[in-house]
Chains A and B, each alone.
Chain A
C-alpha cells in the first residue's frame, strides 16, 4: 500500500464534507479561530489515533499530532474548500507528517506500493516464538509483525469502531483497498495461529 497516494479529494457532497460543513462555514465567515477550535475538538482523537496506528510510538504520535494541528493552524489561510473537506485535508497533513517521521526512522516504509506490500507479507518472517505468552499478547505481537499497510488498516479499523469508510478517509485510500488489506491481514493472522497449532478459536480467544 502506498500510504502517500495523490490527495484523495472529497466531493462537496461527501460524508466528510457534510460533517465539516460548519467548519467550512466558519472559515468562509473569516472566523479561522472558531473553525480551528472545532477542528481540534472534533478530530484531535482521530488524528492522534492515526498517528498511533502509523507510528506505533506514544510519544512520537503525541508530538506528531500536535505538530499536525500546528501546521494546520499556520496553513488555515491557504485551505481551499473546493479541493477537499477540512478533515480530508487534515488527515493528508497527518499522513504526510507520519510518513516523514517513518522515512526518517525507516526509509523502507516511507512509501510502499501494493505489490511490494504483498511480497513483504508473503515473505513475512516468522515472528519470534512465544512460549507461555497469553493469547492477547501473542495477538498483539502478531499484529505488530504485519506489514505496515495491513497493520495500519487493521489497527485503525478497530480504533475507529470497525468503520471502513472512516479508515479509508484517514488513510486516503478507496474503501475497496482498505477491505483488501483487512482481509489479507486477517488471513495472515489466522495462518500464523494455525502454524502455531492454535487454529481452534477456543484455544486462543
Chain B
C-alpha cells in the first residue's frame, strides 16, 4: 500500500515537474531580422571571396606578364646574337672561300666576296630562325 502511495506520489511529482519545465523552458524565438542578417552576411562573404579571387587572378596575371616580358627580352637578345653571329660567320667564310672561287670559276673578284657573304649570312640566319620556330631541316 505504501509502495503504491509512493509510486503515485512520484508520478504526481514527475507530472508536476514536467508541467513546470514546460512552462519554464519555452522555445526562444528566432531573433528579429535573423534571415536578413544571414543574407547580409552571405553577401559580405561573397564579396570577400570575390575580392580574394580577384587578388589571386591579378597576381596570376602579373606573373604571366612578367614571364612574357622575360621571354620577349630573351627573344630580342637571341635575335641580335644570331644576326651578329651570322654576319661574322658569313664574312669569315667568304674570306676563306673567295680566293678559291675566283681561281676555280674565274669570277669577278669585286662581286664574289659580298655575294658569297650575303648568301651565307641569309642562309645561316634563315636556318637559325627556322630552328627557333621548331622547324628541323634535314631531320
Q: What residues of chain A have their CB less than 8 Å away from a CB belonging to chain B?
A: 40, 44-45, 48-49, 52, 58, 61-62, 65-66, 69-70, 73-74, 135-136, 139-140, 143, 154-155, 158-160, 162, 186, 189-190, 193, 199, 201-202, 204-205
Q: Residues of B within 8 Å of A, CB-based: how many?
A: 26
A158 contacts which of B13, B25, B41 (Cβ < 8 Å)? Answer: B25
Which of B16-24, B51-59, B116-124, B128-136 forms part of the interface with chain A? B16-24
Q: Taking chain B's interface residues, is the majority helix, strand, or loop, or is none over half, making it mixed? A: helix
Q: What residues of chain B have their CB less than 8 Å away from a CB belonging to chain A?
A: 12-28, 30-31, 34-35, 37-38, 41-42, 45
**Interchain residue pairs with CB less than 8 A apart (20):** A44-B34, A45-B27, A49-B28, A52-B28, A58-B28, A61-B28, A66-B38, A70-B42, A143-B25, A158-B21, A158-B27, A159-B27, A189-B21, A190-B14, A190-B17, A193-B17, A199-B13, A201-B15, A202-B16, A205-B17
A55 CA to B84 CA in the complex, in Å? 79
A135 CA to B17 CA in the complex, in Å? 11
Q: Taking chain A's interface residues, is the majority helix, strand, or loop, or is none over half, making it mixed? A: helix
Contacts of A162 in B (CB 8 A): 22
- Do B35 and A40 touch across chains, with their CB atoms under 8 A apart? yes
Which B-chain residue is minimally distant from A140 (CB atoms)? B24
Contacts of B24 in A (CB 8 A): 136, 139-140, 143, 158
A205 contacts which of B19, B28, B37 (Cβ < 8 Å)? Answer: B19
- Do B20 and A135 touch across chains, with their CB atoms under 8 A apart? yes
Question: How close is A158's CB to chain B, nearest CB, in angstroms?
Answer: 4
